């Protein structure tokens, strides 16, 4: 069974924690500690918890538990003009989502207490759903997302090693909001490739080759390569942006999208949106299925 929180839409408050092993702790120690969080791993009680691991750490514990081609974010992606997608890989990732800030805070404290002996917090970021379905640019985010009926086929490994799991790309993007808001709406729409008010894709003749849509909508053998996004806003009035939370059954799709955005492909075209929002972190995590985690849970865990 897939970790249900991947598809647990509707929670307005979020917390993201990246962890690193403490000296003396092993990969299996960390997996066992995370597996002991069995209760929150399913949707219920007003909170969702999703757990992921650095791919190399997970395969150290479950030798045949990883799909082919899945690795940590080992090196920056550098575009033709020197623009970079940074690599800031950590050992584990926890995503707590809930109905209110109190719920998320309380559960985050409980989760961290449960893993305190084996891991330290490397990063912590709180997020929230902004204006229902928009990011801080004011545009609808996730327009290309599949429906919940189709999302498992996009996000979940169907068969073979790691079946029931998912590959996560996790990034924090900081926004240059003053520069963005100085653009007329018509220019903003050319950067994104959609209208701002109703999120209608610009016509082909009006769509710049560097627009965010042009760089992210990728086809292969006539079929669009899709991912499932669960992005939210983060930060304060003076320091803010987007938490990119993208799930896919294949890491290569996520990697290709990043390379196209950075201008690290043959055409050398960089996503125009990266002139106004900058990635400051980047990591890949494998989100194992619940059944795989259950094998490491303590006997008294539900």
| C-beta of residue 6 within 8 angstroms of C-beta of residue 287 | yes
Q: How far apart are CA 81 and CA 59, in angstroms?
A: 36
Q: How far apart are CA 156 and CA 287, in angstroms?
A: 9
Cα angle 272-13-231, degrees, rounded to a multiple of 5: 25
Bridge partner residues of 140 (DSSP): 134
Q: How far apart are CA 114 and CA 203, in angstroms?
A: 52
In degrees rounded to 5, what are phi and psi of residue 7? -110, 15
| 141 in active site | yes
User: Within 10 Å of residue 198's Cβ, how many Cβ atoms?
Assistant: 7
Return all residues near 174 (Cβ < 8 A) that are at least 6 apart.
Answer: 235, 239, 240, 241, 277, 278, 280
Catalytic residue, chosen from 141, 271, 300, 302, is 141
Q: Could you tell me what percentage of the chain is helix, strand and coil, using 3-state DSSP and rounding each to the nearest 5?
A: 30, 25, 45
Helix 27-35 vs helix 101-115: crossing angle, to nearest 10: 140
Q: Which residues does the annotation mark as catalytic?
A: 141
């Amino acid at each position: 069974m897939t970790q249900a929180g991947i598809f647990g839409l509707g929670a307005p408050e979020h917390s993201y924690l990246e962890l690193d092993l403490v000296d003396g702790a092993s990969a299996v120690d960390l997996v066992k500690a995370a597996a002991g969080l069995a209760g929150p791993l399913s949707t219920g009680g007003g909170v969702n918890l999703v757990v992921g691991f650095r791919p190399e750490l997970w395969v150290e514990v479950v030798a045949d538990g990883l799909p082919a081609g899945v690795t940590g974010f080992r090196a920056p992606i550098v575009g033709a003009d020197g623009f970079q997608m940074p690599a800031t890989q950590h050992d584990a990732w926890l995503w707590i989502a809930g109905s209110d800030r109190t719920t998320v805070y309380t559960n985050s404290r409980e989760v961290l207490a449960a893993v305190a002996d084996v891991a330290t917090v490397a990063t912590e970021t709180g997020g929230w759903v902004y204006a229902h379905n928009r990011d801080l640019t004011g545009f609808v985010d996730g327009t290309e997302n599949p429906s919940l009926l189709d999302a498992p086929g996009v996000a979940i490994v169907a068969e073979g090693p790691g079946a029931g799991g998912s590959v996560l790309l996790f990034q924090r993007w900081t926004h240059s909001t003053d520069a963005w808001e100085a653009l007329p709406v018509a220019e903003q729409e050319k950067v994104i490739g959609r209208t701002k008010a109703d999120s209608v894709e610009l016509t082909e003749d009006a769509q710049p080759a560097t627009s965010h849509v042009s760089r992210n909508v990728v086809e292969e053998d006539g079929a669009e390569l899709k991912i499932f996004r669960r992005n939210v806003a983060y930060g304060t009035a003076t320091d803010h942006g987007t938490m990119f939370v993208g799930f896919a059954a294949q890491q290569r799709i996520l990697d290709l999208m990043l390379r196209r955005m950075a201008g690290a492909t043959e055409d050398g075209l960089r996503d125009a949106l990266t002139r106004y929002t900058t990635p400051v972190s980047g990591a890949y995590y494998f989100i194992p299925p619940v059944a795989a985690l259950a094998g490491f849970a303590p006997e008294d865990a539900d």
